[in-house]
């Protein structure tokens, strides 16, 4: 039988999930930054800055950003560090093109290289990165454990993994409000701003199907990392997992 996995709340063939996810991100690429600002009230920018503060980076470090999208994280890193070697990757051609164009237009491309690559099969040698980051991308992987093992493989022995992802609110009342917002407001914003409610319905569903904070910590440790801790933001709506 064909192996199954989830695509939002739907069940699909595992070997077809990346194709379905690709269609979503081809659809939303043009207005991705606008929708991120609208959905998070601009707070995603603060969350990414906090991620950089946890990075333990120094000048001369070699960094890989997985599922880079429009290159928010590479931009922040290049703004703070002038001699970083930054590898920007995404599995989706439309998103990678947006990130590359942004790097050129906003003048942070000097230390960046761009690669069309899956986080589950990284085209890099073992143990070459000081830091691997993935912001709001892990939940779209078909095989999260495979992706985590790949990130572990390419990190130096003292390297750091940072995963910024939507998670599970720690307060039950807040969780109900968050659910209402996710399934009633986000698809409407998608329809109003980019004429695409279906893609944003999937994005809301994908958040609910993603492992919670403790479950993701367990997966990270099981993938071979020696230690992992997480930081809840906005009552656990978002969490940053830091692994070494």
Please tell me the predicted confidence (pLDDT) of residue 1.
Answer: 58
Q: Per-residue pLDDT tens for 218-228?
A: 999 999 999 99
CB 128 within 8 A of CB 61: no
Angstrom CA distances, 168 to 37, 115, 200, 236, stand at: 20, 32, 18, 5
233 beta partners? 238
Please tell me the predicted confidence (pLDDT) of residue 143.
Answer: 95
Angstrom CA distances, 190 to 39, 107, 183, 199, 201, stand at: 9, 29, 11, 8, 8
Lowest mean pLDDT among 122-131, 202-211, 223-232: 202-211
Mean pLDDT for the stretch of residues 102-121 = 94
Range of the domain at 152: 4-243
Mean pLDDT for the stretch of residues 174-195 = 83
pLDDT band for position 124 (cuts 50, 70, 90) = very high
pLDDT band for position 53 (cuts 50, 70, 90) = very high
Mean pLDDT for the stretch of residues 24-28 = 73
> Strand 85-90 vs strand 62-66: parallel, antiparallel, or unpaired?
parallel
* Residue 77: HSE in the Cβ half-sphere, 13 Å Cα cutoff: 33
Mean pLDDT for the stretch of residues 43-48 = 94
Who contacts 23 (Cβ-Cβ below 8 Å, separation ≥6)? none
Mean pLDDT for the stretch of residues 206-219 = 94
Query: Does position 230 have pLDDT exceeding 80, yes or no?
Result: yes
Please tell me the predicted confidence (pLDDT) of residue 24.
Answer: 72
Q: Which residue has the higher pLDDT, 23 or 177?
A: 177
Residue 44: CATH number of its domain? 3.40.50.150
pLDDT band for position 39 (cuts 50, 70, 90) = confident
d(CA 11, CA 4): 6
Q: In what order do the strands lie in the sheet with 238-243?
A: 112-116, 85-90, 62-66, 129-135, 155-166, 238-243, 228-233
Instruction: Supply the mean pLDDT for the chain.
Output: 90
Nearest to 47 by CA among 70, 81, 72, 80: 72
Secondary structure (H, E, C), 117-162:
CECCECCCCCCCEEEEEEECCHHHCCCHHHHHHHHHHHEEEEEEEE
Q: Per-residue pLDDT tens for 155-180?
A: 999 999 999 999 999 998 988 988 88
Query: Does position 120 have pLDDT exceeding 80, yes or no?
Result: yes
Question: How many independent structural domains does the chain possess?
Answer: 1
């Amino acid at each position: 039988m064909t192996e199954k996995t989830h695509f939002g709340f739907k069940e699909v063939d595992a070997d077809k999930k990346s194709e379905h996810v690709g269609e979503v991100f081809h659809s939303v690429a043009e207005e991705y930054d606008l929708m991120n600002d609208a959905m998070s009230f601009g707070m995603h920018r603060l969350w990414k800055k906090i991620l950089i503060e946890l990075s333990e980076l120094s000048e001369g470090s070699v960094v890989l950003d997985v599922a880079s999208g429009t290159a928010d994280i590479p931009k922040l890193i290049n703004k703070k560090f002038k001699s970083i070697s930054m590898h920007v990757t995404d599995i989706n051609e439309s998103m990678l093109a947006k990130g590359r164009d942004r790097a050129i237009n906003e003048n942070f491309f000097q230390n960046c290289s761009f690669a069309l690559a899956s986080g589950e099969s990284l085209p890099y040698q073992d143990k070459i990165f000081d830091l691997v980051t993935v912001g709001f991308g892990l939940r779209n992987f078909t095989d999260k454990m495979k992706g985590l093992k790949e990130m572990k493989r390419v990190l130096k022995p003292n390297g750091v993994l940072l995963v910024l992802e939507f998670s599970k609110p720690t307060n039950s009342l807040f969780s109900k409000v968050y659910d209402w917002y996710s399934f009633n407001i986000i698809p409407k914003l998608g329809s109003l701003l980019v004429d695409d409610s279906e893609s944003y319905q999937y994005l809301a569903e994908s958040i609910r199907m993603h492992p919670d904070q403790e479950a993701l910590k367990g997966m990270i440790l099981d993938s071979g990392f020696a230690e992992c801790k997480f930081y809840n933001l906005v009552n656990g709506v978002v969490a940053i997992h830091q692994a070494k």
